[in-house]
Amino acid sequence: MKSRLRIVLSVSIMASMILACGSQTPPTASPDVVNTALAATQQSQALAQATVNSASLTAMPMTPTPGPTVEYVNLTEEELAALIDQAVAEAVSATEQATTAVTYTTTDDAVTTDEVVYVYDYYYYADYYVEYAEDLLAEYYTLYSDLATDMITELNAIESELSQLNDTLTSIDSSLQEISSTLEQGLAVAEESIAQLEAAAQQAQTNAQELQTQAQDMISVLQAEQQGRVDQLSQIQPNNIPTDKIAALQSAFDFVDFANTAMSDNKLSRDELTNLAQLGKNAQAGFAGFGGTGTGPDLTQFSGKFDEITNQFARGQMPQARGNIGQFETSLGSRPSPGAGGGPPGGGGLPGGGGGPGPRP
């Protein structure tokens, strides 16, 4: 900010120097000379203050360097959502810092090249996190768009706010480029250019606040939806129960095979989850009815695995569910030979249940 006291002192000193020069009885200074001296002093003061501002600017951390590449398929749904939440929070914070930097550098109505660089540091920081948040949203859509519903609606709204924020950051960038070009030509920055920069910064501040408001319930929306999936699957009842121990074991392998096939593309649809839950309920009923009979291991000890794995998928705990599936398959031992066991009711049902077809008559 300009210091009026310094201006007065500068004018006084200049006036004294004029009086000290020449004869002992100097002529009265003309109004033009006084006005010229005052204008020169004001201009020097503005430039000096801008230089002081530039020298006293707080150092800005460098634009974040991307860390090791994250394999998003190895994250749970909640972990990916937490990354989105953090990136959005960082984008909001960085944008607010960028707008503060703009306000600080334009309060004296003079912007230097160093101040443009200073604001750009904040701009790049904000732009990085906005882009990072958008990339994370794209990853979520890829992995969970066929499974989530309420969460997709929530993220679409967040994406819209991010897009608006990105537009205002682009406006800040355009204003900074215009100011920088003017300074490179050795020209004075127009008040209109500074006003445009300030307006863009104010709009960015508004957009950042709207983004923060929109995103504040995201994790709660996710948790509620995950619990809703679990509750819905818990209502499913067996509809094709195996009729003996061998068929029950085969139904467990059908459950495992279906899960592996469904997750071969690293994502799970709502229909696939429902079908998996149905297979699990059928196999679980078979284990409860026949798992402890006859020879071989007691399968009843694994009865709870079907709900456990299904619920992990329902809660978006994909890495844990995949690992659990692998361990469960190993625990089941050897697969039944084709044609062994009576199979589930209804004939052809699950693979291997009713044996192969007989010879042609």
Paired tokens of 155: 């993220």
pLDDT at 59: 52
* pLDDT of the residue at 251: 97
CB count in 10 Å sphere of residue 169: 26
Per-residue model confidence (pLDDT) at position 340: 56
Percent helix, strand and coil across the chain, each to the nearest 5? 70, 0, 30
Q: What does the pLDDT look like over 190-237, one tens digit per residue?
A: 999 999 999 999 999 999 999 999 999 999 999 999 999 999 999 999
Per-residue pLDDT at 64? 59
**pLDDT recorded at residue 339:** 61
CATH 1.20.120 fits 73-217, yes or no: yes
Helices (H), 216-340: 218-234, 245-262, 270-290, 305-314, 318-332
Summarised one tens digit per residue, pLDDT across range 275-298 is: 999 999 999 999 999 988 777 788
What pLDDT score was predicted for residue 72?
A: 95
pLDDT score recorded for residue 200: 98
pLDDT computed for residue 6 by the predictor: 32
Give the pLDDT of residue 288. Answer: 94
Distances from the Cα of 125 to the Cαs of 87, 197, 211, 265, in angstroms?
12, 17, 17, 34
d(CA 264, CA 255): 14
Which pLDDT belongs to residue 15?
Answer: 40
Sorted by sequence, the CB contacts under 8 Å of residue 219 that are 6+ apart come out as 78, 81, 82, 85
What's 244's DSSP letter?
S
Quick count: other Cβ atoms within 10 Å of Cβ 32? Answer: 8
Distances in Å between the alpha carbon of 256 and those of 30, 286, 347? 99, 15, 21
Residue labelled with tokens 């960015």: 204
Q: Which helix (H) or strand (E) holds 296?
A: none
Question: What's the confidence (pLDDT) of residue 297?
Answer: 81
Q: How is the chain split into domains, by residue range? A: 1-56, 73-217, 236-332
Query: Which stretches of the chain drop beneath a pLDDT of 50?
Result: 1-58, 61, 343-361
Say what the pLDDT of residue 341 is.
53
